[in-house]
Structure 1
């Protein structure tokens, strides 16, 4: 338990964190990865390069300092962190490495002696948060191991099928190398995939949504190839998977995880996605199809053009089984090869109200700005905040 003085000292750093938090955390990551290079196989080096990881950590540290006397406010954020950490097989001893480098970074960046009361206060604050996360992650690991066919840590899988879904998205079908059956998962959850990236010289993990309904033999992920101006500029792992991983190759996986999943198959559901954000929605739709759902379903998707439109055939097949399924496709550029409802950007205010029932659960996935816009529009249309669920692919969040 932190003392009143320690809490006040931590809170005294809030203005500095607001102003220079990203610079501090950027320095922290450089320091830690230099001192402990083995952690490069844990952290997303693409986010390190872009600065996204440093910004996300700065926001998290600031939120922790601002709410240090009412940590229950951070409950959803903590659950999200725990889910990500378990998917990356984060272990308690790694918290010691992070803590040591974080405290030294605060000292070095802010020119504060390591033996100062402020560093001591932040050390106690960090340990408080670490203890919360370690305990929650221990429970999650135990649950993974206790579930039928579950496992803990990384497990070897083999690619049994590779299928191009669009110009930019390819699906990989994965089975356990040892032939063991797979644990069930909730529609919308993800797995972590770890693969050796030859250009880096070490392994890299990424999270990918499971893009089909649960079965005990094969996991399917559908990966968007992220191309930058030079090779691998945006997608170390996605480009490796697309260009170098084929049927028969091995990958490492952790157990399914995630707090974004289908809540109630017996309720009206509305799925809103853009780009590769379609993957959890397909999983949810295929699950409802398997369950023989009777309630109305709305499937809304936005894409740049029909060349990048993925899994449209599966949506059509679902419509043949689910007559209550209504679809809406907005395509910024479209040819005659696919039927669209709108040529242009998605605007929920233009949709028939029957597609947006007031009592439904809403699921949104796609680029951050897209999700913000749809979230805000739904609120303006009278949809309650607790009916709106969103998946965050990146390191950021929605305010």
Structure 2
């Protein structure tokens, strides 16, 4: 427990974090990686180069400071990050390294304003926050290892099949090298692929949504080929061009807080844009196989028919369910985009809504859902990469 004096000091730094948080986290990552380059084998280089990881950490630090007297308020965000950490095999021994460089970055950015009292208070607060993460992640690692078919960190898988789904998306079927059956997962969750690319100094880690209902034999991910000149392109281009049937990759146990509530009988509306279709495929497939009578709507937006994956499969699943609908818009072919009028016509009344796609797509869709009077409690959404703050209006 933190003393009231420590809580008061942390609270007093909230305005400073709001103004300088991104600068602090940018300095933090720079200094930490210079001192511990081995950590570049864990962190997503694309998110670093785009500033997304810095923004996400700044947001979390700010939220922790603002709620330091009620950390339960930020527990959902902590759990979401802990799932990412588990999928990357973050260990307790790495937390002191993070704490040292985070405090150092606060000192460097704030200068004389970072008094010994402020640094001391933040040192105490960090210990408390780190212990929460370590405790949650320890439990997650234990659960992952003890579940039927589970393991703790990474495990070798071979590419059993490689199927082109569209001009830009290819599916990879992954089977464990040891031949053991796979653990179940919640539709919508992801796995981490860890790949060594010839010529690259560091191992690359990327999270990919599982794109079909759970089976005991294989995982399926469906990967969009990004522009190889962009930070995100390195891994996806390597998978598309260089990885073939029989090749080996390392895979984590499924993780993630964005997933279908399989126990519920509520109607479901799935809304996706582009490659955001992948976790929705897992959800829709799971409904079709396990609760085909459950009302469901699948709404998708793609640039063109050539870019869309799974159209034939979606139509097949839709036909197999008596209370489902499937609608798709192709923006480059004159259909326009998913807008308020489209949502009003297709979202099932009272349904649990799941949204996944590029940030701009989600901003637009969620604003329109709010404008239609749908409460935020009914709307679940997932980002590509670290969670970001979205400016959303409720009217």
Q: Same fold (TM over 0.5)?
A: yes
Q: TM-score, normalised by structure 2?
A: 0.94
Q: Deviations over 1:235-271 (max 9, x none)?
A: 2221221121111111111101111111146321110
The Cα shift of 1:375 comes to 1.6
- Which residue does the alignment assign to 1:261? 259
The Cα shift of 1:351 comes to 4.6
| Unmatched runs of 5 consecutive residues or more in structure 2 | none
Confirm or deny that 1:221 pairs with 2:221. Answer: yes
Q: Deviations over 1:195-235 (max 9, x none)?
A: 1133532211111100011000100000112215x3x5432
Q: Distance in 2 between matches of 1:197 and 1:56?
A: 27
Q: Name the Cα RMSD after superposition.
A: 1.7
Query: Is this contact kept in 2: 1:163–1:171, CA < 8 A?
Result: yes
Q: Which residue of 361, 365, 368 corresponds with 1:370?
A: 361
The Cα shift of 1:115 comes to 8.3
Q: Which residue of 339, 342, 347 corresponds with 1:356?
A: 347
Q: Which residue of 326, 331, 335 corresponds with 1:343?
A: 335
Distance 1:386 1:243, change over 3 A: same
Q: Which residue of 347, 358, 383 corresponds with 1:392?
A: 383
The Cα shift of 1:113 comes to 9.4
Confirm or deny that 1:308 pairs with 2:299. Answer: no
Q: Distance in 2 between matches of 1:348 and 1:302?
A: 14
Q: Distance in 2 between matches of 1:23 and 1:371?
A: 27
Q: Which moved more, 1:381-390 or 1:89-98?
A: 381-390
Q: Distance in 1 between matches of 2:199 and 2:366?
A: 38
Residue correspondences, number:
389
Query: Is this contact kept in 2: 1:358–1:383, CA < 8 A?
Result: no
Q: Which moved more, 1:103-112 or 1:365-374?
A: 103-112
Query: Is this contact kept in 2: 1:266–1:294, CA < 8 A?
Result: no
Q: Deviations over 1:300-342 (max 9, x none)?
A: 00111222111111101112311322111111113xxxxxxx7
The Cα shift of 1:58 comes to 1.0
| Unmatched runs of 5 consecutive residues or more in structure 1 | 335-341
Query: Is this contact kept in 1: 2:315–2:326, CA < 8 A?
Result: no
Partner SS state of residue 170, structure 1: strand
Confirm or deny that 1:92 pairs with 2:70. Answer: no
- Which residue does the alignment assign to 1:284? 283
